[in-house]
Amino acid sequence: MWPMIQAHPEEETKTSDETTTKLRTDLVVSQQKTAESDEATFVVKDPETGKFYRFKEVEHFIVQQLDGSTPPDRIRQRVEERFGAPLPQETLDQFLKTLRRLGLVETKDAQGHMSRQRGRIRGSPLYLRFKVFDPDRLFNRLIDKIRFCFTPEFVVASAALILLAFAVTLSNLDEIGQDFPSLFRLEAFLFAWLTIFAVGTLHEFAHGLTCKHFGGEVHELGFLLLYFQPAFYCNVSEAWLFPKKAHRLWVTFAGPYFELVVWALATLAWRVTDPETWLNWAALIVMATSGFKTLFDLSPLSKLDGYYLLSDYLEVPNLRERAFQYIREGLKRACGSPSEIAPAVTPRERRIFLSYGLVAGAFSLSSLGIILLVLFGLLTDNYQGVGFVLFVVAALYLTRSKFKKSIRAVRQAFEKKTGPATAAPAGDKQAPKSKAALSKRTKVLAFSATVLAALFLITMDLRIWGEFRILPVQSTDIRAEVEGIVTDVYVTEGSEVQKGTLVARLNDRDFSAELQKIEAQIGQTRAQLKMLQAGPRQEDIEVARRAVETARTAYEKALKQYEEAQQQRAERLANAKAAVRRAEELVVIKKGEFERLKEGVERGYISRKEYDGAHEEFTVRVKELEAARGDLQLVQADQLAQVRRDLEVAEKQLDEAQAKLKVLLAGSRQEEIEGAQAALANLEAQRDYLKVQLRLLNIVSPVSGVITTPTMQLQNLPNQQKTAEPTRDERLFHRHGG
């Protein structure tokens, strides 16, 4: 979308205009109201130039009076009567002159203005637009076929699709990161370029068709270069005429929303297809291109869809230009230079201009700085001094508008402090033009002289390109004194090295680990030797004696528990045997009763019920006997193993404590001290050997020279069992070439 051009009267010669003025009859006017105030604003479209102008209520009332017959004095009177405020004649004259300059009134100048055709290529080097064709007729044929896309059902379904794709992306971030390296191939770049072209075209179609859906016209489709980054555009400035803010926002958001739908479809296709198929690969490319392009497109810091969305949402037309103008005027006032332009802005607009102007200005300056740095590197690396001159010319060309504004601001500030220059004679109309032409020619000549002086005075090497080979008089091999794997190479082909310069390094992992182990053992052995030499301390002896007493107490307690356990076992064993005897007696008794009743049942003088009761009681007594015998076996099996084990442990601990006390009382033996000293000497010898080996892992140059091993071979050295890198003796080479 394109920014609206708001008409502000400019300062001109304050003379009254008594001629009548007529507004052009082909202008298109749309009345709108902002959310911040109930005051109506009017958007006017010039169908000849395609530009849009915003008028406030007072300005629109004045424009309505321009019927070609009403003089300016009468218009001024009507305005004062309508709004109850005085309108200076100079202000009205300035406004009428602005309308003539913009070509909005029927004058000769306006006709000439209307007759000018807009070219296909417009803009600045940092914002260059190329018109391709007029798509209005094509959109008229397509709009009826895609009318379903503007229904609430389609919007809800597509929004759900986008949310689902976001969920899939968040849950598969690791897999996406693993698949991304496969895109860095030539065929992937070609397909990505075709994808960007196709999706970008449909993106702009979405803008245009949405504008057509809401009743607008679209007459321009093309592509632009924004900070040398290619992008497509569709001129849907007709949206400025839509009275509803929602319609204007949808026209701007249609392109990114369409691209989000494409991204969502590609994401789901990538998820459900086999990773080895071409469809999965193509879906991944569409995901990457549409995703990153949409993020860039929605950024409000560049004049793309995100910027126009923000401008429409805030209802601040020409947000970027007005914010930058507000920042410039604020800087002027801060520097003590009074601002010539004091636009009437509300507190809300001040906050918007300040916040957006600072952020967008920082973004623009950083983008331009990155471009200049890349351009500087490319030109100076390939063309040296000439490249630097070319860079200066290119930088001045790219920043010429901002450079001119800065020079103009400085000159104006200087003139305000020193006073205006002497005016030219009233009748000499050519004097200003002559001075301006002379000033321009002087600038061109001064710049040309500076460039020529730089070319002649700056020393530059004469370089002749061609293949040649330099052979050294003497070569020296750099070899490691130990075997190992190369981990780092610190030189490249052609690097100058001095004797003793570190060239490469072998892997020191094994040696370092072994050295740390030996040093730990040395510390432990030294501590043991000190303890042997010092002998036992009185405190250690006292601790050992207390340990003996504690162990003896524990032993006596365990012995007492063992004796008590034996006594309890004997009691349980006696009780179990008695229970078995009682159970056996009862079984014998009940068995006799059972057998008597059994004989009575067989003869018929005993009832079956009595017999069953006797049989059941006999069975119970048999089971009680078996349980008593089981308890007896358990008691007999209990050999007090746990108590006996505790007693043995306590006895062992007592013996160990008594032995330790005995050793402490006896003191250290001389043989132990000599053994510890020998072990310490052995460990220190191993440590010194490992330090020597670690030092030998650093491969240094034995002579001063230049590395002649090809860079590719040097890059292949790490993680390989290689230790040689040839150099040439620089001193011999110089002496030979002298």
Task: Tell me the mean pLDDT in the region 484-499.
Answer: 81
Q: Which amino acid is at 523?
A: G
The closest alpha carbon to 702, from 417, 434, 368, 474, belongs to 474
Q: Indicate whether 131 pLDDT > 70.
A: yes
Task: Tell me the mean pLDDT in the region 311-333.
Answer: 83
Q: What is the pLDDT of residue 274?
A: 87
Higher pLDDT, 228 or 580: 580
Q: How many CB atoms lie within 10 A of CB 260?
A: 21
Q: Which of 69-83, 216-230, 676-690 has the highest mean pLDDT?
A: 676-690
Q: Indicate whether 394 pLDDT > 50.
A: yes
Summarised one tens digit per residue, pLDDT across range 519-536 is 899 989 888 888 777 777
Q: What is the pLDDT of residue 338?
A: 59
Q: Which of 159-168, 425-434, 577-586, 600-609 has the highest mean pLDDT?
A: 159-168
Higher pLDDT, 456 or 395: 395
The DSSP bridge partners found for residue 124 are 127
Mean pLDDT lowest among 158-172, 425-439, 505-519: 425-439
Mean pLDDT lowest among 117-126, 649-658, 702-711: 117-126
Higher pLDDT, 69 or 332: 69
| Terminal Cα-to-Cα distance of the chain (whole angstroms) | 70
Q: What is the pLDDT of residue 420?
A: 44
Summarised one tens digit per residue, pLDDT across range 154-191 is 999 999 999 999 999 999 888 888 887 777 787 888 88
Task: Tell me the mean pLDDT in the region 510-527.
Answer: 88
Name the band, by pLDDT with cuts 50, 70 and 90, for residue 269: very high
Mean pLDDT lowest among 51-65, 428-442, 574-588: 428-442
Name the band, by pLDDT with cuts 50, 70 and 90, for residue 102: confident
Task: Tell me the mean pLDDT in the region 82-88.
Answer: 84
Q: Which of 40-54, 100-114, 141-155, 230-244 has the highest mean pLDDT?
A: 141-155
- Please give the mean pLDDT across all residues of the chain: 77
Separation between Cα atoms, residue 419 and residue 99, nearest integer Å: 33
- Residue 333: which residues within 8 A CB-CB, separation 6 or more? 339
Residues 168 and 268 sit within 8 Å (Cβ to Cβ): yes
Q: What is the pLDDT of residue 671?
A: 79
Separation between Cα atoms, residue 578 and residue 728, nearest integer Å: 108
Task: Tell me the mean pLDDT in the region 715-729.
Answer: 48
DSSP 8-state assignment for residue 344: -
Q: Indicate whether 391 pLDDT > 90.
A: no
Task: Tell me the mean pLDDT in the region 380-398.
Answer: 75
Question: Strand, coil or helix: what is 708?
Answer: coil
Mean pLDDT lowest among 52-61, 152-161, 346-355, 392-401: 392-401
Sheet-wide strand order for 496-497? 475-478, 725-729, 705-707, 496-497
Q: What is the pLDDT of residue 428?
A: 41
Q: What is the pLDDT of residue 103?
A: 84
Q: Indicate whether 427 pLDDT > 70.
A: no
Q: Indicate whether 512 pLDDT > 90.
A: no
Q: What is the pLDDT of residue 107?
A: 65
Q: What is the pLDDT of residue 403?
A: 57
Q: Indicate whether 397 pLDDT > 60.
A: yes
Q: Indicate whether 409 pLDDT > 50.
A: yes
Q: What is the pLDDT of residue 363?
A: 87
Higher pLDDT, 539 or 253: 253
Indicate the pairing of strand 705-707 with strand 698-700.
unpaired
Q: Indicate whether 727 pLDDT > 50.
A: no
Mean pLDDT lowest among 58-62, 109-113, 553-557, 609-613: 109-113
Q: How many CB atoms lie within 10 A of CB 558?
A: 21
Q: Which amino acid is at 284?
A: L
Q: What is the pLDDT of residue 424?
A: 36
Q: Where are the beta strands (DSSP E) in 374-495?
A: 475-478, 486-489
Q: Both tokens of residue 294? A: 């949409």
Name the band, by pLDDT with cuts 50, 70 and 90, for residue 429: very low
Higher pLDDT, 152 or 444: 152
Q: Which of 104-108, 126-130, 691-695 has the highest mean pLDDT?
A: 691-695
Between CA 20 and CA 27, with CA 21 as vertex, the angle to 5 degrees is 160
Q: Indicate whether 262 pLDDT > 90.
A: yes
The closest alpha carbon to 341, from 350, 349, 329, belongs to 329
Q: What is the pLDDT of residue 732?
A: 32
Q: Which of 20-34, 142-156, 566-580 has the highest mean pLDDT?
A: 142-156
Task: Tell me the mean pLDDT in the region 210-230.
Answer: 79
Task: Tell me the mean pLDDT in the region 79-104.
Answer: 85
Separation between Cα atoms, residue 94 and residue 100, nearest integer Å: 10
Residues 539 and 693 sit within 8 Å (Cβ to Cβ): no
Higher pLDDT, 88 or 9: 88
- Residue 557: which residues within 8 A CB-CB, separation 6 or more? 650
Q: Both tokens of residue 648? A: 């043995």
Q: What is the pLDDT of residue 340?
A: 53
The closest alpha carbon to 371, from 351, 392, 340, 395, belongs to 395
Task: Tell me the mean pLDDT in the region 602-616.
Answer: 77
DSSP string, 503-570: EEEE--HHHHHHHHHHHHHHHHHHHHHHHHHH---HHHHHHHHHHHHHHHHHHHHHHHHHHHHHHHHH
Separation between Cα atoms, residue 47 and residue 586, nearest integer Å: 127
Q: Indicate whether 342 pLDDT > 60.
A: no
Summarised one tens digit per residue, pLDDT across range 272-285 is 988 888 888 889 89
Name the band, by pLDDT with cuts 50, 70 and 90, for residue 118: low
The closest alpha carbon to 488, from 500, 501, 502, belongs to 502
Q: How many CB atoms lie within 10 A of CB 284?
A: 22
The DSSP bridge partners found for residue 253 are none
Task: Tell me the mean pLDDT in the region 301-324.
Answer: 85
Task: Tell me the mean pLDDT in the region 716-731.
Answer: 46
Q: Which of 95-104, 470-479, 598-607, 636-645 has the highest mean pLDDT?
A: 95-104
Mean pLDDT lowest among 88-102, 519-533, 593-607, 674-688: 593-607
The closest alpha carbon to 28, from 237, 313, 213, 311, belongs to 237
Q: Indicate whether 56 pLDDT > 80.
A: yes
pTM metric for this prediction: 0.49
Task: Tell me the mean pLDDT in the region 665-682.
Answer: 81
Separation between Cα atoms, residue 445 and residue 448, nearest integer Å: 5
Summarised one tens digit per residue, pLDDT across range 2-18 is 333 344 333 333 333 44
Q: What is the pLDDT of residue 694?
A: 82
Chain Cα centroid distance, residue 171: 18
Q: Cα–Cα distances in Å, from 720 out to 331, 478, 489?
A: 62, 16, 12
